[in-house]
Structure 1
Amino acid sequence: MVLGRHLVLCIITYMLFSWQQAGLFHSGLRLLASDKELLVKLRRKTGYSFVNCKKALEKFNNDAKQAETWLHQQAQKEGWNKASKLQGRKTAEGLVGLLQEGNTAVMVEVNCETDFVARNVKFQQLVQQAALCTLRHCRSQEQHQASYSKGLIPGEEILQMKTDDVTIKDVLALTIGKLGENMLMRRAAWVMVSSDLFIGTYMHGALQPDLPSLTNMSYGKYGSLVVCRKADTDSTSNITELGRRLGQHVVGMNPLTVGSLEDESTGDAETRMLAQPFLLEPSLTVGQYLHPHGVQVLDFVRFECGEETHTP
């Protein structure tokens, strides 16, 4: 019995030696190493699991391009399947994304189930892509003679916008498929102003994103855009800081209208912005605070993540 085992081992050793001498053993190793390298590259490029990447490469005989296309198609299909299964689950968390570029600023709200997912890089990428699409949409609008224009966009309309050759609807499906939570493209708003106006912006509860983000984009739970007519004497830095303070007031005090300088404050229940006690100097109303600066507030937009709203 022992002799038989020894004989089998000798035969196996001889065969391996023969393959090595013939170059077959090493070429097999090289092939395996090459396959592994291709698998790793596909995994890094797509972000899908090793199992799915291996399956895709085997399906298309190591054609990386076809494998990648198939992976995206499958992920989209599975994402929509998962989306339909998760539909109806409460999405009270998420992020507000604020993007400002020159005389244009946009805000988007995207909801998910948990704050844990809201902090995930893939969810933040979804918010960023929705904001970029909203910015392009805003700039494509016909401009009128008015000194500023403003728009509110419902989630269903955002889903039809395209980033490269893919709709936001598809990006949403892929993100749902990868993160396994129900998500909702809630709404967006945009503002574009003429050269004699400026947009004050503020983000409350801002988080440090996990992705290489746009330098002019921020993420948080509350955001605001405030349209103001600037005084000629104010410097750019003064205007930026003043706009940030006004945005902070809008987030903190939640006014419903701008009102006018002639309005008399009705106290803590006041909902007209200019008549409200200024958040950072409560002894003054917003109107009184702005008067020496020569700045006028014309309009504002406020987003609170997860709030009940009748915004179209």
Structure 2
Amino acid sequence: MSISAAQVKQLREMTGAGMMDCKTALSETGGDMEAAVDWLRKKGISKAAKKSGRTAAEGLIGVAAEGADAVVVEINSETDFVARNDAFQELVRNVAGVALSTDGKVESVAAAAYPGGGKSVEDTIKDAIATIGENMTLRRSQKLSVEKGAVASYIHNAVADQLGKIGVLVSIETEGDAEAARNFGRQVAMHVAATGPMALTEAEIDPAAVAREKEIFSDQARQSGKPENIIEKMVEGRLRKFYEEVVLLKQAFVVNPDLTVEQALKEAEKEIGAPATVTGFVRFALGEGIEREENDFAAEVAAAAKS
């Protein structure tokens, strides 16, 4: 029978087991949710799941690059202490290397073979959870590729080679010198790490975000009491400023603030020896968007005293 993504998601939330294990359990039990839970328990897969309820917002960002391809991955742990562990760092570095041979999607990376162990990446992480004693998750992964040119990578706050707290990829398409393109791309990647742009171009910004900003600017402008035609021009001016702040190509380049990133690219074409285009970027900041648990230390002590 066909197992839906919703069923896999439900079983994963119930047990904390890995996605591939949940899919296998449901297939083996004909989609029966309770039987699938029992199947996972019998296989001992729930061993790591006991820790799955704990928030994993620390960890490391890892990057890997080869030729015209590069990937960035985020693997989370519960504490920064584990992120400083050599074994965990090797795990993240190897997973990034594995991701480079896939399409970069989390599902593909999780299912791919981990080097030297005869197991998948997902199973290897599960083993690490049981060994190290902390919840860990392969949270996200993304790959950038170009047909001709280069994909540059950059790690900010590096704790080891290709590992750190912020990871950035920047892809540049060009018929020119790939190494010169990569060097400039790394400067742009450093810029992205510092500024966190919302999009590459104006067209790529979420229309809802633009509408929200426009509404705010309009309300602010109307408070001036000026006529509507003047207000309209004020809003247009503020939107231009908004784009300059959040659109990568419109931002002032951190390496040379007298130029925008777009203008700096034109200057870089002299070294590259041909027209060049920034075709994409990815920025992963460790733990962004994860809702962290707020622990009440006094309550923990009180609870421990009662037990």
Question: Match for residue 139 of structure 2?
Answer: 186
Query: Structure 1 residues 112 and 224 mapped into 2: Cα distance closer, same or farther (>3 Å)?
Result: same
* Contact 1:79-1:174 within 8 A present in 2 as well: no
**2:279 aligned to 261, 281, 298, which one?**
298
Question: Match for residue 277 of structure 1?
Answer: 252
Unaligned runs of 5+ in 2: 1-42, 203-236, 270-275, 291-307
Q: CA deviation at 1:132?
A: 2.4
2:198 alignment partner, SS class: coil
1:250 aligns with 2:192: yes
Q: CA deviation at 1:235?
A: 7.3
**1:127 aligned to 92, 101, 108, which one?**
92
1:203 aligns with 2:155: yes
1:158 aligns with 2:133: no
Corresponding letter in the other structure for 1:159: A
2:199 alignment partner, SS class: coil
Question: Match for residue 170 of structure 2?
Answer: 226
| 1:107-153 Cα shifts (integer Å, max 9, x gaps) | 11100011110111221222123222211213xxxxxxxxxxxx5x2
* Contact 1:109-1:186 within 8 A present in 2 as well: yes
Question: Match for residue 289 of structure 1?
Answer: 264
Corresponding letter in the other structure for 1:180: G
Corresponding letter in the other structure for 2:198: L
Corresponding letter in the other structure for 1:162: A
Question: Match for residue 89 of structure 1?
Answer: 54
Q: CA deviation at 1:157?
A: 4.4
* Contact 1:93-1:115 within 8 A present in 2 as well: yes
| 1:71-118 Cα shifts (integer Å, max 9, x gaps) | xxxxxx77851x222111111111111001112111111000111101
TM-score (normalised: structure 2): 0.61
| Aligned length, in residue pairs | 206
Counterpart-to-counterpart distance in 1, 2:196 and 2:124? 32
Corresponding letter in the other structure for 1:168: V
| 1:249-296 Cα shifts (integer Å, max 9, x gaps) | 111111122117xx9951697211111111222222111222222332
Corresponding letter in the other structure for 2:170: V
- Structure 1's consecutive aligned runs of 4 or more residues displaced over 4 angstroms after TM superposition are 77-80
Corresponding letter in the other structure for 2:131: K
TM-score (normalised: structure 1): 0.60
Question: Match for residue 141 of structure 1?
Answer: none
Corresponding letter in the other structure for 1:107: V
Counterpart-to-counterpart distance in 2, 1:131 and 1:193? 18
Corresponding letter in the other structure for 2:189: G
Counterpart-to-counterpart distance in 2, 1:183 and 1:229? 36
Counterpart-to-counterpart distance in 1, 2:93 and 2:262? 35
Query: Structure 1 residues 192 and 269 mapped into 2: Cα distance closer, same or farther (>3 Å)?
Result: closer
Query: Structure 1 residues 133 and 230 mapped into 2: Cα distance closer, same or farther (>3 Å)?
Result: same
1:163 alignment partner, SS class: coil
Counterpart-to-counterpart distance in 2, 1:283 and 1:119? 39
Query: Structure 1 residues 279 and 251 mapped into 2: Cα distance closer, same or farther (>3 Å)?
Result: same
Q: What's the Cα RMSD here?
A: 2.7
* Contact 1:79-1:177 within 8 A present in 2 as well: no
* Contact 1:79-1:175 within 8 A present in 2 as well: no
Query: Structure 1 residues 192 and 231 mapped into 2: Cα distance closer, same or farther (>3 Å)?
Result: closer
